[in-house]
Amino acid sequence: MLKQTFPIIALILILSAVYLSNQRNLPVEEGTSCQFDGNMCNIRFKNLDHSVRIETFPPKVEEMTQLTLSQHESVTVESAWVEGVNMYMGKTHLPITHMTQTFSQSDMFLGACNEPEMTWRIVVNYSKSTKGANNSTAAEPYTLFYYFTTRLY
């Protein structure tokens, strides 16, 4: 019985690993990502400016730092998370506090790992309010990606 179930369990584990590794490799459309230049990262998408500012840059692992997100008044931050790119670290949810119509904030905490140079990606899901026919309002969702690197030394 054990000889028959072992290949099935091994196959399930391999397929699960492949599925999970593909989940973190989100497709990045041209013009939807940027690399931090200092503590700011700016993207112009859909003719609107979007930016993320990290208070302490480069952020230190195992220390809380604050993010400020700015966007056009017709855009809402729906959700955000930070994840490792070159090493799987899981997704760390970024709780969003809407400060004004155009600024939001979140606290960010990066976990430590043994990778000496770690590339991170902040993923922000936005929705843009658009006026349709009949003066109805519709939300158009989209995602932008903000990249930065931390070093252990």
Edge-to-edge strand list for the sheet holding 75-84: 33-35, 137-151, 117-131, 75-84, 91-93
Closest CA to 48 of 77, 72, 79, 70: 72
Specify if 13 maps to a domain. no
Instruction: Decide: pTM greater than 0.75.
Output: yes
Specify if 34 maps to a domain. yes
Specify if 4 maps to a domain. no
Specify if 1 maps to a domain. no
- Read off the pLDDT of residues 65-90 as tens digits, 9 standing for 90 and up: 999 999 999 999 999 999 999 999 99
- Read off the pLDDT of residues 4-31 as tens digits, 9 standing for 90 and up: 665 666 555 454 444 444 444 444 455 7
| Domain encompassing residue 49 | 28-151
**Hey, how many other C-beta atoms are within 10 angstroms of the C-beta on 151?**
10
- Read off the pLDDT of residues 94-141 as tens digits, 9 standing for 90 and up: 999 877 889 999 999 998 888 899 999 999 999 998 877 777 788 899
DSSP 48-62: EEEEEEESSSSPPTT
Specify if 42 maps to a domain. yes
Closest CA to 54 of 143, 122, 111: 122
